[in-house]
Amino acid sequence: METVTERPAPWSRAMLRVPLLAWLRTGALLAVVVWASTELLPRYSYYPKPPASFRGSVLLEGWFRYDGNWYELIVTRGYSLNAPGQQANVAFFPAYPLLVRVVDVVVRDAVLAGILVTALAGCGAVVLFHRWCCERVGPDLARAAVAVLLAYPYVWYLFGAVYADAVFLAAALGAFVLLDRGHPVWAGLAGVVATAARPVGVAVVLGLVAVTLQRAADRPGPPARGLVDRWRGRLRWSDAAVLTSIGGLAAWSTYLWVRFDDPLLFSKIQGASGWDQEGGPHTWFKVTLVDNIRHLPQWIGDAVDNPGIFGYSPWSSVLYTLGTVFQGLLVLGAFLLVPRIARRLGWGYALYVAAVMGIPLLGSKDFQGCGRYLLAAFPVFLVVAQALEPRPALRRAALVGGTLALVLLTSLYARGYYVA
């Protein structure tokens, strides 16, 4: 495991300037892309909602798509349950809409509040990621890791999209940074926000526990004769504080139990018609994706020969299928990096990455959404930066290629295409 022996200095302007400027540069680029895409390019004609009207929508309307409508409903009307088997907003965890509601008290516009919460949380996540990298590598490589993160094709979810991913990532990174600094109690509290933000938050609990055990095993102590001896006499009572991170999930399940008589209702609703994310072999083995790939030649042929069939959009099916295949390849790449993460950062972070990707992977019928879920696997971006460091030409190509893909996907998202 590669680490630096000297801990970085406390927060300073220099520590903040690098990630802040990087986030601002990427944010400015994506803001222009979103505005230009909604104003100058044709929108996806099958997007189910008309253009939203809210304060600042002239510039920001392209950030409000798909799940953002559910979050707006939660903020303005609260949680509710529809008829059995139908989609409902109880599928969405509460941390993000609670923060949006707080900001909404000030700005008096739920959609604008959601965009602001995402942007602020995304900025915080980039700052915390830079800090986390500095705990392990020098400032130059930490800067390179931030560049890799900000060239990731789905990083637009850290800049304004009304989704919970930015809040989850900021909370998860905050928990691990606080643990690095020797504050397990505060790390557990940050973990509470993460487990209240997304179902995959349980991976943060596993990661915090694993990293705590890893750190404890490295403390001075008597010679270890077995696995248990590695922690006997090295663990402290304060280390147990990281277990409080499960509190977000526990509180959410308790609310569902009291309000709707079902503590696991959020999981059951995922199987509703239209989402179809119920567990089982059909989902685990990606039967839907296999069927889509099988129909891909037909869709391509229809798109070329009959692109304007009323009520049928073959290009949408082609784009959707290619997008899910691309996301599947990204997930495969992340899993292939787990052994490298174990060698470079320790088995605790390797377990975290495996869990944070494995949990949604089991619940996704075709990899859709896994592109943004991979943002939570932040150790991946550091080990990729380490791998690219001695290969400057490949690094430049990767950053340029990633940025071009980011611009394309951001534009498609802003125009209403379902790309993640």
pLDDT tens figures, 102-133:
999 999 999 999 999 999 999 999 999 999 99
Return the pLDDT at 285: 79
Q: Check if the beta carbon of residue 353 is closer than 8 Å to that of residue 377.
A: yes
Return the pLDDT at 3: 46
The pTM is what? 0.92
pLDDT confidence bin for 275, thresholds 50/70/90: low
Return the pLDDT at 391: 95
Spatial separation of the C-alpha atoms in residues 207 and 308, rounded to whole Å? 50
Q: Which range is least confidently modeled, 97-101, 209-213, 216-220, 243-247?
A: 216-220
Pair of tokens at residue 204: 């943060």
Return the pLDDT at 6: 47
Pair of tokens at residue 326: 């691309």
Pair of tokens at residue 219: 């403390």
Return the pLDDT at 276: 64
Average pLDDT over residues 313-341: 91
Would the pLDDT of 358 be above 60?
A: yes
Pair of tokens at residue 273: 């018609």
Q: Which range is least confidently modeled, 46-55, 135-144, 298-307?
A: 298-307
Q: How far apart are the first and last CA of the chain?
A: 34
pLDDT in tens, 130-177: 999 998 998 999 999 999 999 999 999 999 999 999 999 999 999 999
Would the pLDDT of 27 be above 50?
A: yes
Average pLDDT over residues 273-287: 73
Considering only CA atoms, which of 188, 195, 132 is closest in space to residue 167? 195
Query: Domain locations in the chain?
Result: 13-414
Considering only CA atoms, which of 165, 192, 306 is closest in space to residue 252? 192
Return the pLDDT at 69: 94
State the chain's mean pLDDT as an integer. 89
Spatial separation of the C-alpha atoms in residues 200 and 209, rounded to whole Å? 15
Q: Is residue 266 packed enough to be buried (19+ CB in 10 Å), middle (13-18) or exposed (0-12)?
A: buried
Return the percentage of the chain with pLDDT > 90, whole number: 66
Would the pLDDT of 269 be above 70?
A: yes
